[in-house]
């Protein structure tokens, strides 16, 4: 068993290992090449009765666990959206684990609550979120969105559903078919049912058509339903389509419907003033979520949730068992009342470390670099006769596909699926796919914290090589 003395020794060794790991990460396969069952079958079926040496445990970590890990911090990780980390973030997380605090209320760690409040205050003006809003840090965008939609449900029902359950209220929720699956999940959990989630029609850029939204709301009202909330995506997961917040906001105001903005990924771009136009009209919205744990260099998990009506949120989630009654209640922020979980990690610490270490300008420079690499990549695709862009690239995401002469759409889908597999099985880069207007497309996301132009050039060369082998 580790003790005071051996903890110090092993911790020093681990830090060296961590630094080496980051230095050599490019030599590891980006997507784990592990086969199903391969990891579990190498490990004992039962836990040890007696403690083992840390040395032995760590050896197994290196030889068995590590090969089964996909390297999300590799600069050639271009899949999904990034789950970025960074040096200051890792150091912050080490301290969070060391303190091991459970930050459910102010009294269980005043600094955690107040630093969380400060992070919200720092981010609001930078991202052009209205000054009167407040916010908190949550674990994931899925949970924050759920909290927003339940708050909308309660506000709409005058808190009667919390109290007495559903009484045949037929609430309707709205988003586009491009919106993240967490919205579907939320309507299931909050009791409205997926049948009452209306998927609104989108335009050429895959953004919600406001007039279609209004028609849907009107017809639902005529049919006896109660429109409750709209979720607008600022940056859909597939292609970063941006729903028109301003026009949607007007409709939500007109029909007294909650507007939640899901900017889980693209929200980070609001750190750049030139992208504030993505959320023109934000003052008409009610809540907004984005994930520093995606593009803002803060390791998973760290979700920022901004809210206009703090009282509505707290009234929805408030609980007050005897053991949580404190004398400071009312003077401080007790974040257990701001969402689903009671227990809370000290997530503000790593975010604070990142912002102070990078500086706002450092964050902005890096984001602009990522977007310039994506622009370069999109140009390469555009100029190459074997490839095409399937939709106009946004921020640092490029959706494209290989095109072979005399192939029908079905054959092209197959060819592109083969291309993705060939790239990922090489271990040299990792990207995933999406469907854009029915077409199978590759999705190149250039956003890992330490990615540089040469990595993107190498990945592009790999893509061409694999394509040539298939054509």
Ligand X SMILES: *Cc1c(COP(=O)(O)O)cnc(C)c1O
Rule CB under 6 A: is residue 142 a binding residue for ligand X? Answer: yes
Categorise residue 459: left if φ over 0, alpha if ψ from -120 to 50, beta otherwise.
alpha
Helix locations, 38-133, DSSP H: 54-60, 87-99, 110-127
The window from 101-109, 198-206, 211-219, 235-243 that contacts ligand X (CB under 6 A) reads: 235-243
Q: How far apart are CA 446 and CA 370, in angstroms?
A: 6
Binding residue for ligand X (CB under 6 A) from 233, 444, 446, 463? Answer: 233
Rule CB under 6 A: is residue 334 a binding residue for ligand X? Answer: no
| 134, containing H or E segment | strand 134-138
Of residues 299 and 303, the one with the C-beta less far from ligand X: 303
The window from 219-227, 228-236, 354-362, 413-421 that contacts ligand X (CB under 6 A) reads: 228-236
From residue 429, give the alpha-carbon distance in Å to each of 77, 114, 326, 377, 405.
Answer: 6, 41, 52, 15, 26
Output the smallest distance, CB 121 to ligand X, in A. Answer: 22
Output the smallest distance, CB 262 to ligand X, in A. Answer: 5
Structure tokens given for 437: 């207007």
Rule CB under 6 A: is residue 77 a binding residue for ligand X? Answer: no
Output the smallest distance, CB 199 to ligand X, in A. Answer: 15
Of residues 155 and 294, the one with the C-beta less far from ligand X: 294
Of residues 115 and 264, the one with the C-beta less far from ligand X: 264
Structure tokens given for 40: 């579990």
Binding residue for ligand X (CB under 6 A) from 230, 264, 307, 397? Answer: 264
Output the smallest distance, CB 383 to ligand X, in A. Answer: 29
The window from 5-13, 24-32, 136-144, 333-341 that contacts ligand X (CB under 6 A) reads: 136-144
Beta bridge partners of 401: 388
The window from 37-45, 46-54, 259-267, 278-286 that contacts ligand X (CB under 6 A) reads: 259-267
Inter-residue contact 284 to 258 (CB < 8 Å): no
Q: Looking at the chain, how many residues does it have?
A: 471
Output the smallest distance, CB 175 to ligand X, in A. Answer: 10
The window from 123-131, 135-143, 305-313, 386-394 that contacts ligand X (CB under 6 A) reads: 135-143
Of residues 141 and 467, the one with the C-beta less far from ligand X: 141
Q: What are phi and psi of 34, to 5 degrees?
A: -65, 145
Rule CB under 6 A: is residue 228 a binding residue for ligand X? Answer: no
Inter-residue contact 173 to 229 (CB < 8 Å): yes
Output the smallest distance, CB 187 to ligand X, in A. Answer: 14
Rule CB under 6 A: is residue 308 a binding residue for ligand X? Answer: no
Sheet with strand 432-436: strands edge to edge: 387-389, 397-402, 439-445, 432-436
Rule CB under 6 A: is residue 265 a binding residue for ligand X? Answer: yes
State which of positions 372-411 bind ligand X (CB under 6 A).
Answer: none
Rule CB under 6 A: is residue 138 a binding residue for ligand X? Answer: no
Binding residue for ligand X (CB under 6 A) from 157, 182, 316, 434? Answer: 182
Which residues have CB under 8 Å from 14's CB, separation 6+? 58
* DSSP structure class, residue 318: -
State which of positions 400-459 bind ligand X (CB under 6 A).
Answer: none
Q: How far apart are CA 128 and CA 431, in angstroms?
A: 32
The position carrying tokens 């301003």 is 246
Instruction: Report the 10 Å Cβ neighbour count for 398.
Output: 31
Binding residue for ligand X (CB under 6 A) from 128, 140, 205, 372? Answer: 140
Of residues 180 and 347, the one with the C-beta less far from ligand X: 180
Residue count, binding to ligand X (CB under 6 A): 15
Rule CB under 6 A: is residue 291 a binding residue for ligand X? Answer: yes
Q: How far apart are CA 430 and CA 427, in angstroms?
A: 7
Rule CB under 6 A: is residue 161 a binding residue for ligand X? Answer: no
Output the smallest distance, CB 235 to ligand X, in A. Answer: 6
Helix locations, 285-389, DSSP H: 292-295, 310-317, 348-383
Rule CB under 6 A: is residue 81 a binding residue for ligand X? Answer: yes
Which residues have CB under 8 Å from 78's CB, separation 6+? 429, 430, 431, 443, 444, 445, 446, 459
Output the smallest distance, CB 266 to ligand X, in A. Answer: 8
DSSP assignments along 10-32, one per residue: HHHHHHHHHHHHHHHGGGS-SS-
Output the smallest distance, CB 51 to ligand X, in A. Answer: 35
Rule CB under 6 A: is residue 262 a binding residue for ligand X? Answer: yes
Rule CB under 6 A: is residue 85 a binding residue for ligand X? Answer: no
Positions that interact with ligand X (CB under 6 A):
81, 140-142, 180, 182, 233, 235-237, 262, 264-265, 291, 303
């Amino acid at each position: 068993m580790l003790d005071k003395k051996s903890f110090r020794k092993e911790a020093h060794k681990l830090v060296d290992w961590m630094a080496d790991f980051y230095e050599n990460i490019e030599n590891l396969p980006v997507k784990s090449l592990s086969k199903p069952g391969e990891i579990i079958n190498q490990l004992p079926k039962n836990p040890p009765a007696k403690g083992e040496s840390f040395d032995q445990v760590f050896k197994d970590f290196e030889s068995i666990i590590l090969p089964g890990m996909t390297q999300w911090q590799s600069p050639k990780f271009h899949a999904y959206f990034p789950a970025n980390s960074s040096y200051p973030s890792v150091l912050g997380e080490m301290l969070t684990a060391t303190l091991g605090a459970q930050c459910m209320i102010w009294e269980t760690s005043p600094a955690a609550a107040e630093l969380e409040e400060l992070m919200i205050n720092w981010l609001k003006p930078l991202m052009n979120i209205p000054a009167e809003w407040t916010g908190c840090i949550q674990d994931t965008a899925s949970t924050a969105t759920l909290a927003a939609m339940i708050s909308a449900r309660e506000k709409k029902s005058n808190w009667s559903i919390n109290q007495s359950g559903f009484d045949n209220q037929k609430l309707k929720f709205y988003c586009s078919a491009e919106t993240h699956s967490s919205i579907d999940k939320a309507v299931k959990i909050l009791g409205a049912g997926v049948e009452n989630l209306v998927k609104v029609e989108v335009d050429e850029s895959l953004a919600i058509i406001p007039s279609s939204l209004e028609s849907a709301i009107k017809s639902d009202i005529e049919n006896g339903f109660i429109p409750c909330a709209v979720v607008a995506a600022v940056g859909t997961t597939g292609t970063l389509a941006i729903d028109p917040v301003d026009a949607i906001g007007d409709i939500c105001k007109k029909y007294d419907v909650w507007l939640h903005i899901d900017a889980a990924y693209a929200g980070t771009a609001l750190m750049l003033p030139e992208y504030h136009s993505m959320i023109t009209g934000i003052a008409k919205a009610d809540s907004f979520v984005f994930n520093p744990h995606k593009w803002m260099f803060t390791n998973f998990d760290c979700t920022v949730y901004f809210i206009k009506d703090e009282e509505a949120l707290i009234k929805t989630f408030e609980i007050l068992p005897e053991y949580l009654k404190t004398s400071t209640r009312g003077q401080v922020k007790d974040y257990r009342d701001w969402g689903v979980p009671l227990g809370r990690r000290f997530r503000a610490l790593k975010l604070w470390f990142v912002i102070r270490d990078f500086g706002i300008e450092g964050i902005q420079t890096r984001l602009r670099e990522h977007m310039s690499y994506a622009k370069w990549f999109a140009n390469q695709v555009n100029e190459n006769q074997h490839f095409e862009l399937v939709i106009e690239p946004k921020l640092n995401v490029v959706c494209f596909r290989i095109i072979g002469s005399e192939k029908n759409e079905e054959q092209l889908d197959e060819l592109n699926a083969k291309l993705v597999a060939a790239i990922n099985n090489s271990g040299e880069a990792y990207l995933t796919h999406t469907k854009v207007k029915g077409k199978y497309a590759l999705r190149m996301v250039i956003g890992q914290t330490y990615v540089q132009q040469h990595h993107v050039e190498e990945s592009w060369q790999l893509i061409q090589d694999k394509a040539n082998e298939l054509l």
